[in-house]
Structure 1
Amino acid sequence: MPLHVAIESDTGTLDTRACERLVRETGAPVFYSPAFLRAFEAFPLHSVERGAHILVHDGAGRAHAVLPVYLQRGVDPMGALAANRPGALDHPVLLSHVWHCYETTIPALSPEAARLAVDAMGDLAGEWGASLYGAANVGADSDAARLLGAAGLSGTPLDRMWSMDVSGLDGFDAYLESLGGKPRREMRRQLRRAEEAGVRARELGVDEADLDGFVRLARATAGSKHDNADYYLPGVFQGFLGALGSCASVIELRVDGRLVAAMASLVDNTRYHLWCLGVDDGACNGFSPTYVLLAQSLRFAFAEGRPTVSAGRRNGWFKARYGFHSTELQVFLS
């Protein structure tokens, strides 16, 4: 059956059930779910001039590939354009996916459908006057990387993504036993100190969590560590989290009722994503909140039966110490 390409300008015209089925069948992460795409459309986490969803379908209407693309100018939080195409920073570029996605792929049922989606992206870049097009945060050894390379896009290293297969572990205690002696003892010591400090941890839905408090902590942490507080745009980020619904939750750590650390987590069919966090180190006397957030998130991941825990980018030394393995991420540009 021949395949056809459609350009959907907004999520209102997307066939939600078809896209959900495609994401499930291809094993694509939560960043490609209709809920995430709708949330970004309503609350764009960074500036975009135009957006579209490239949909490849057959004559019966079945979705075979979907590729979200965004025309943007001067948006480069990871320095990908500055390092590879500095002249493009002042011009519109068409990229997939959004910068807050650390696992970019091409959800497709076949190589043919994926190729059609990438070709359509190139055509759309020409129509929209983009100076270049491409994809960021693509696994270096993925099918998407090979297809983008075959399409003539040049891939260069960008960062590393961290994940852990926990399917063979029977809960958090088994996870602790799988660690080396020093990391295991340090985790237990930090959890004991947190308990002595009166830390209370809860996982809350986005309709119950203190989203303003989370964004305040996340902005402070991003600003002090990466000089990038606006990765969490005030007002916009709260709205985005709220729009995700059941795809997202927030782990809150409180001492005497005060919010001292928080982590926003995302879920899909197979993964529990430790997406982003914020901490008030000055309010965490005698313990490190990062250990407590990791322990709590792993407990919830085990309870929900997610075989993979994804921990995003950066802080590799800590993640490697606690069982996560890295994958090289690349940026592909025309």
Structure 2
Amino acid sequence: MHASGAPVFYDHAYVSAYEQAPLTNADYSGSFVVRDGEDVVAVLPIYVQSAANPLRRLHEAYPEAAGQRVLLSHTWHCYDAHVPATAEVLPTLLDAMTRAASVLEARWWGFVNVERGNALSQQLRAAGLPARHLTDRWSTGLTTYERYLSGLGIRARANLRRNERRSKEAGVTVEVLPADHAALDDISLLCTKTATRFDTGGCYPGSTLTKFVLALGGLAHLIEVRQHGKLVAAGICLADATRFHTWTCGVDYAVDGRYSPYGVLFAESVKLAIRLGKTTLEGGRGNSDFKRRYGLSPRHLDAVLIRA
């Protein structure tokens, strides 16, 4: 689906991995496939969910939908909803979602994590479907690491350089690995603990996360940050045609030395994205103060939810 400009979350390997190791307890999962003759022009993953987590943000925006079955596209773990050839395809998909919601006994149906102002957002609005703000995702353009640093404020730039120096003095090492060579069980445990600390523990069930990342194959890039052999930070990153996604991470702040393991992980994520030739760093959702300080800009994400 990269040819359509779709993000990594619509890649066959990602959707297939989610089917093999669902990170959300969905009551139903499937996909709409839109064809023009023999050609596939759009694929839209759909899920029926009722669990409060990870849909807490959705229920904050739509409290009237809390505790009810909802037919959604995509899952919460996709922070960039996309429909290719939107103007031509969307009416067909809206009709299909309306009928599917009835068949699957969903009380609501719609889209989550729609970037405000993009083609999908505009066409949904044109169809008379109102949106409510969910959260923001954060991103920035990339060329070289020095240019990235030069675009930061003086203090942020100095912080990254000082943290790199201190981490090296503290014996920290960084390694980028494919999924099948990384310490996935340890990484999953660290990510789960970190998510729990930030009250999003339902997003990354440990053993399922390990299976999911393995199933991603070459889409995933694992960053391990270690001090004296101990895993102190880890990132699960994804890449599509032009963008590098820091999809989720785990951090242990109980370290020796005056450095931030998260700062080490973030800096390596930027460097890896540039080495891979990606022109956009996608920083995901949350942790807005850090991301704004280090050069990322917000993109407003909305939900469009319709009562069935």
Equivalent-residue separation in structure 1 for 2:200 and 2:291 (angstroms): 21
- Residue 104 of structure 1: how far off its partner (Å): 1.2
Equivalent-residue separation in structure 1 for 2:53 and 2:122 (angstroms): 24
- Pick from 141, 144, 149 the counterpart of residue 120 of structure 2: 144
Structure ranking higher on relative contact order (CA contacts 8 Å, 6+ apart): 2
Identity %: 37
Contact 1:260 1:284 in 2 (8 A): no
User: What residue in structure 1 maps to residue 168 of structure 2?
Assistant: 195
Q: Does 1:259 align with 2:259?
A: no
Code of the aligned partner of 2:232: V
Code of the aligned partner of 2:134: L
Q: Does 1:161 align with 2:134?
A: no
Kindly report which structure 2 residues correspond to 1:67-216, keeping only aligned pairs within 5 A, or say none. 67-106=44-83, 108-166=84-142, 169=143, 171-216=144-189
User: What residue in structure 2 maps to residue 217 of structure 1?
Assistant: 190
- Residue 120 of structure 1: how far off its partner (Å): 1.2
Contact 1:262 1:293 in 2 (8 A): yes
Q: Does 1:63 align with 2:40?
A: yes
Contact 1:65 1:117 in 2 (8 A): no
TM-score when scaled to structure 1?
A: 0.88
TM-score when scaled to structure 2?
A: 0.95
Q: Deviations over 1:304-332 (max 9, x none)?
A: 10111100001111111111111110111
Size of the aligned set, in residue pairs, is 306
Question: What SS class does the counterpart of residue 82 from structure 2 fall into?
Answer: coil
Code of the aligned partner of 1:93: V
Equivalent-residue separation in structure 2 for 1:184 and 1:308 (angstroms): 19
- Residue 76 of structure 1: how far off its partner (Å): 4.1
Equivalent-residue separation in structure 1 for 2:87 and 2:256 (angstroms): 50
Equivalent-residue separation in structure 2 for 1:64 and 1:130 (angstroms): 26
User: What residue in structure 1 maps to residue 28 of structure 2?
Assistant: 50
Over aligned residues, Cα RMSD in angstroms? 1.4
- Residue 139 of structure 1: how far off its partner (Å): 0.5
User: What residue in structure 2 maps to residue 301 of structure 1?
Assistant: 273
Contact 2:2 2:8 in 1 (8 A): no
Equivalent-residue separation in structure 1 for 2:193 and 2:169 (angstroms): 26
Q: Does 1:283 align with 2:259?
A: no
Equivalent-residue separation in structure 1 for 2:57 and 2:269 (angstroms): 30
Equivalent-residue separation in structure 1 for 2:224 and 2:162 (angstroms): 20
Q: Deviations over 1:266-310 (max 9, x none)?
A: 000111101111011012531111211111111111111011110
Code of the aligned partner of 1:67: L
Question: What SS class does the counterpart of residue 131 from structure 2 fall into?
Answer: strand
Question: What SS class does the counterpart of residue 91 from structure 1 fall into?
Answer: coil
Query: Which segments of 5 or more consecutive residues in structure 2 lack a partner in the other structure?
Result: none
- Residue 110 of structure 1: how far off its partner (Å): 4.8
Q: Deviations over 1:198-235 (max 9, x none)?
A: 100001000001111111111111111x2222311021
Equivalent-residue separation in structure 1 for 2:266 and 2:199 (angstroms): 24
- Residue 243 of structure 1: how far off its partner (Å): 0.1
Question: What SS class does the counterpart of residue 110 from structure 2 fall into?
Answer: strand
- Residue 265 of structure 1: how far off its partner (Å): 0.2
Query: Which segments of 5 or more consecutive residues in structure 1 lack a partner in the other structure?
Result: 1-22
After superposition, the Cα gap between the structure-2 partners of 1:202 and 1:314, relative to the gap in structure 1 and judged at 3 Å, is same
Equivalent-residue separation in structure 1 for 2:145 and 2:299 (angstroms): 24
Code of the aligned partner of 1:54: F
- Pick from 198, 202, 214 the counterpart of residue 242 of structure 1: 214
